[in-house]
Chains A and B, each alone.
Chain A
Amino acid sequence: MEDRRKGRRPVTVPTAPARPRPPGPGRPKGATAPSSPAALAAAHGLIVSGARPSLTRYIAALWGRRHFVTAYATARMHATYSTARLGQLWHLATPLLNAAVYYFIFGVVMNASHNVPDYVPFLLTGIFVWDFIGSSVNAGTRAIHGNLGLVRALHFPRASLPLSTVIQLFQQLLVTMGTLVVLLLALGQTPGPSWLLAFPTLLLTAVFCAGCALVMARIGSKSPDVSQLMPFVLRTWMYSSGVMWSIDKVLKRDDLPHWVALALKANPAAVYIDLMRFSLIDSFTARSLPHHVWPLAIGWALLAGVGGFLYFWKAEEEYGRG
């Protein structure tokens, strides 16, 4: 090696913009010394820089970084309110303050609570689950674009970033749902077997959110302008998901076109919110749920989860460029 380095003469190349390629056929093609760069690369196991790994290798690499994914989620959770005096208490205070505002505007002023029994738990469940879905979409949009420093500095499967964002939000959801359960007990609801349905509901919601975050992460990395539009999209989505009003009651009263009713009831956010209400609130019965609610919930989760993962992976080699 030393000989090679010392013995090499400096090569001075003329400054012409397009340097002529070395003639291929004129060079000796020995079996031991590969002649073209491609052959030399193949002989030593070099791969094209920045090529996308296969799906199975990608999943394996992601699994290998699972500690990074969870550590990043926890770190972000701690960093969120690190500048606030009350610190981690805001993870609880923020959603509760939100709920108080919505209760005042929708429950008291606009009287959406009319005909909705147990309006407070109804509203809280809606807000907490929606917060998770909406924040996942919103944070997913910035998961890659907001972390370009990290993406450009180190190599790791990029899906780690949106996924750990969703895990962080999921941890937050667990905190707020825990509070909700305490509140429900204080309000006199009796825990029944239906409360166990909260677990599969949480799981399906999380898979759905992870898929959405992956899709939005890719879109947001290509067109950062999208994050300017997200507040409008999310507000529209929230108001049509029955977070603070009952879709069921509105559909009974009004003569809405059939497709609108169908769209309102099949909306994944509404499906997950209503399933959570069904499992926790006694007065929210199966009659208020859309037909085929479990197939719908599973279908949305699989569509978003699998589709979102594939969609994100397809552009793996492009994140951080440009």
Chain B
Amino acid sequence: MADPTVIADDVHVVYKVHAGGRKGGATAALGRLLSRRPGPGVREVHAVRGVSFTAYRGEAIGLIGTNGSGKSTLLKAIAGLQPVTRGRVYSQGRPSLLGVNAALMNDLSGERNVILGGLAMGMSRGQIRERYQGIVDFSGINEKGDFVSLPMRTYSSGMGARLRFSIAAAKDHDVLMIDEALATGDAAFQRRSQERVEELRERAGTVFLVSHGIATVRATCDRAIWLESGVLRMDGPAAEVCDAYEAFTRRA
């Protein structure tokens, strides 16, 4: 039997949302610190409700579902970045989560971010030197001029996301999770990313992919998990789950 890399066992995630305003000066901050009680405006959002599945080595799993169905939350829980309210997530090694939103270090140049990102992931300086050109070429940010020596805050969000993906993909991960990062690039970058996902998977890792583009999931993944309102609706071969999901969205 194949090796499991991620086991989700009845995972529930509940967000506690502080509905009150969070702005104010130093005195308001002091007041909040001193009265440690949660204000009257605390609401709960049950984002993931009892999801169980087992992911195996060598699988590329697409996570699909309408907006707000809990896909990003589930990935964060798998990565250990979001505490689960009930249930457990077991994983092989340290799952790495790639999101599109945050850049690595905005004030530093792309070049420094490549080096620091590599070092942070535990690569040696030699390994980074070896793969540096590959990472920059892969991201394609240097195609329109020498952008890699500029601070990342000058990048468009697509460029930042591409560089982040390239840095993270330079290392072989046991479990790599990609949250809509592939959707941000142009067609050429998407094709390269798909090839890279394929490679990572062949090197015996597991890849999770959240994408709005059902076509991307069909092309990249062999298995799909469909979440709806935090509940696992369907889990199976990508083609079948995508068909069912598309039938569902057409009806709705």
Contact = CB atoms under 8 A, between A and B. Distances in A.
A4 B62 CA distance: 17
Contact of A18 (B32, B50, B223): B50
B42 interface: no
B148 interface: no
Nearest to A21: B10
B118 to A, nearest CB: 9
A44 B54 CA distance: 12
Contacts of A64: 122
Contacts of A223: 32-33
B32 to A, nearest CB: 6
B120 A154 contact: yes
Contact of B4 (A13, A19, A40, A153): A40
A226 interface: yes
Interface in A127-172: 147-150, 152-156, 160
A41 B4 CA distance: 8
A152 B26 contact: no
A119 interface: no
A272 to B, nearest CB: 28
Interface residues of B, number: 77
Given A21-B10, A37-B9, A38-B88, A68 B119 contact: yes
B92 interface: yes
Given A18-B50, A67-B125, A152 B97 contact: yes
Q: How large is the interface on A (under 10, 10 to 19, 20 to 34, 35 or more residues)?
A: 35 or more
A50 B96 CA distance: 11
A10 B30 contact: no
A321 to B, nearest CB: 6
A89 interface: no
Contact of B116 (A8, A21, A37, A71): A71
Contacts of A86: none
Given A149-B105, A228-B29, A71 B115 contact: yes
A1 interface: yes
A68 B116 CA distance: 6
Given A9-B236, A225-B32, A44 B50 contact: no
Interface string B39-83: 000000010011010101011000000000000000001111111
B116 A49 contact: no
Contact of B79 (A16, A17, A37, A49): A49
Contact of A321 (B5, B81, B228, B230): B81
Nearest to B28: A225
Q: Which of B25, B59, B94 counts the most A-chain CB atoms under 10 A from its CB?
A: B94
Contacts of A82: 107, 151
Contacts of B121: 154-156
A11 interface: yes
A258 interface: no
Contacts of B77: 49
Contact of A153 (B3, B33, B99, B151): B99
A74 to B, nearest CB: 9
Given A152-B81, A152-B102, A17 B90 contact: no
A75 B237 CA distance: 46
Contacts of A13: 231-235
Given A37-B52, A68-B116, A150-B105, A46 B5 contact: yes
A260 interface: no
B107 A12 contact: no
Contact of B90 (A15, A16, A48, A225): A48
Contacts of A262: none
B216 interface: no
Interface string A78-121: 01001000000000000000000000000000000000000000
A48 B30 contact: no
Nearest to B104: A150
Contacts of B237: 5-6, 8, 10
Nearest to B234: A12
Q: Which of B49, B52, B80, B94 counts the most A-chain CB atoms under 10 A from its CB?
A: B80
Contacts of A41: 4, 7, 90
A40 B125 CA distance: 37
A1 B59 CA distance: 10
Contacts of B119: 65, 67-68, 71-72
B164 interface: yes
A259 interface: no
Nearest to B53: A11
A45 interface: yes
Nearest to B83: A321
Interface of A: 1, 4-6, 8-13, 15-19, 21, 37-38, 40-41, 44-51, 64-65, 67-68, 71-72, 75-76, 79, 82, 147-150, 152-156, 160, 223, 225-226, 228-229, 232, 317-318, 320-321
Q: Which 3 A-B pairs have the closest CB atoms?
A: A50-B80, A10-B236, A149-B102
Given A152-B99, A153-B104, 7 more contacts: A4-B2, A49-B6, A50-B83, A67-B124, A71-B115, A72-B119, A154-B104
